[in-house]
Amino acid sequence: MLRVDMKTPARAIKQFLTKPIMLPRFRAHVPRPDDPPVFGFNAERDDIVREVVRRMEERCETDKLALEYVINEVAYEEVRRLESQRDSEAKESLGFWKGTVRRVGKMSERERKELFHDIAERMVKDIAGNFDERVYGIATNAVPHLLTSVMKPGSIAHDLRHGSRAIDDMLRIEGSSELLRKLAKKGTIVYVPTHSSNLDSVALGYALMRENLPPVVYGAGKNLFTNPIISFFMHNLGAYRVDRRVRAALYKDALKAYSTVMIERGYHSLFFPGGTRSRSGMVERKLKLGLAGTAVEAFSRNHAKGLSRPIFFVPTTINYGLVLEAETLVEDWLKEAGRSRYIIDDDEFSQLDRWVAFFRKLVGVESACVIRFGEPIDPFGNKVDETGRSIAPDGRTIDVASYVMKRGKACLDTKRDAAYTRELGQVIQEAFSRETVLMATQIVSHVLFRKLVKETPGVDLFGRLRHRGEISMKREELRDELHVVLEKLKAMEARGEVHLSQKSQTYGADELIDRVIAAFVGYHRRTILTEKDGVILIEDPTLCLYYQNRMVGYAERVADEANLPAAREIARMAM
């Protein structure tokens, strides 16, 4: 049994991670009727790889693409990537790709087909995940206690004795889990959440465990597999590897084909339609729908084969009072580095001491994370009922098979399905806005940043961010404006336009201000707010901006007449 040092949480984590994990003795998995689909993944893995490679070859032939062009494009992009990396992977593979560039023009058609097959198979095998039921059992029991040892080191012994979990006080789950459990038995669920932190997949995975929902397969950045805290579980719990450094078009085809095949075969899935973490902290508006489109394609392919397995999308919001990587993300956004630096591999997520500080800070704040499941929809944006039927706005039942019919027969149609995917993206974006849960840190930061905008007329965003320690509000003024914002937000919540965290719903303005200042003090490297003699000072406008950005889409609706011009300026940041 693992013994954990209660007084030193960082050491406890390292102890947990370096202790050899004794898996139960291997037994071939015997399928049971109530098993989640992913439990049978390893038995299908080789066949899935073969099918994905076959489709990549088929697409090449269908599109009349010259194999020489496709292979050259892959080789060129890989040479460029590996030369810039100069790491062990470059030493191992650079010679192969340079040789490919030299040889491909002299190859016969048969040799090019063989080389293409080898390249495609290499890509897909690198992507394909793994699922170990034994590791899933370990994760179900061990991960909550591991996180507890960080959040509340002194409580882990009590947790182990009494079966309680401190993390359950930190993570709140909203929405109809019961409905999702019913739908999971009738079809394939695709979760499409907002994306703020690398903790998202961990938090959502644990939420599914806790709500007795089946585990999902999902794409995870290959760089995350180097993080010792989660790599072991990712390797064995269905995560497939996405190497965002690879720019070749063929690699993107491989990812899409893999996702399509998985959904066709009934594997519940997870995509982040924002693509990467929101650098600004805003709720995503410009969605990357490539992987979502694979579910639409999977639906069409299944019906073309005579399979009527339903697919349900679940727009989901993941909401934090504090964001672990906030400092790095907002700086990246302001520098517009996100356009070229898609991967951040040196942020707070990779630093063990920041994990410890982050979780310990959350002990005194409201729920660390609120995950809210929105209403499920079909691949064409229609709501579905508990039986899995698609429902039109007027209450009629819709035959979704009709969406993929042509001359009375279900078929694939790339342009048609792309149009459906765009419409689906609009529905998901609207759901994100409705299902966002606003936390106290975001609401208080918004009122303060609105004051900064009001006090700096005619100044652009970057000019405003230079006003460090210069803009303040008297507590009475902040309390009164916060009260107005909260009342407007509560009215919006009653209309189904947004949601509030429990503390934001029930606490008074003064108590919320106290809790937000306490939450901000001591975690981030830079101080965001300070209070002295009843005056609250914005010490760091940049981090204040990051947290208030979750409110951008609601800024005008929560402003009174006096603050409306400043609110309009804030709202324009989303455009």
499 DSSP β-pair partners: 437
Answer yes or no: is 381 within a domain. yes
Is residue 486 domain-shared with residue 522, that is, in the same domain? yes
pLDDT attached to residue 206? 83
* Residue 15 is assigned to a structural domain of this protein: no
Query: Two tokens at 273?
Result: 């339609």
Query: End of a domain among 414, 435, 456?
Result: 435
At position 477, the amino acid (one-letter code) is E
Q: What is the pLDDT of residue 539?
A: 96
Low-confidence ranges of the chain (pLDDT < 70): 1-33, 62-65, 138-168, 224-238, 337-367
Instruction: Name the pTM for this structure.
Output: 0.87
Domain count of the fold of the chain: 3
| Tens of pLDDT, residues 4-57 | 343 444 454 444 444 444 444 444 455 566 788 888 888 899 999 999 999 999
Per-residue CA distances from 422 to 259, 381, 383 (Å): 18, 10, 17
- Asked if residue 170 lies in contact with residue 292, where contact means CB atoms within 8 angstroms, the answer is no
Tokens of 215: 């585990």
How far is it, in rounded angstroms, from Cα 355 to Cα 109?
A: 53
Classify residue 41: in a domain, yes or no.
no
CA–CA separation, 147 and 349 (whole Å): 14
pLDDT value of position 133: 75
The pLDDT assigned to 199 comes to 81
Same domain (yes/no): 333, 391: yes
SS3 139: helix
Q: Count Cβ atoms below 10 Å from residue 220 Cβ, excluding itself.
A: 20
Same domain, yes or no, for 242 and 340? no
Domain termination residue (choose one: 435, 451, 473) = 435
Q: Is residue 221 part of a domain?
A: no
Count of alpha carbons within 13 angstroms of residue 328, beta-carbon side: 19
**Pairwise CA distance, residues 512 & 295, whole Å:** 42
User: Would residue 467 count as lying in a domain?
Assistant: yes
**Residue 92 shares a structural domain with residue 103:** yes
Domain that holds residue 188: 133-216+268-435
Q: Provide the residue type at 153 as one letter.
A: P
User: Does residue 262 fall inside a structural domain?
Assistant: no
Same-domain check for residues 472 and 537: yes
Same domain (yes/no): 118, 143:
no
pLDDT digits (tens, 9 = 90+) for 470-494: 999 999 999 999 999 999 999 999 9
pLDDT at 136: 72
Domain identity same for 322 and 290: yes
CA pseudo-torsion sign 33, 37, 38, 44:
positive
Q: Which two tokens stand for residue 310?
A: 């339903």
- What is d(CA 251, CA 189) in angstroms, rounded to the nearest whole number? 25
Residue 442: predicted pLDDT? 97
pLDDT for residue 7:
45
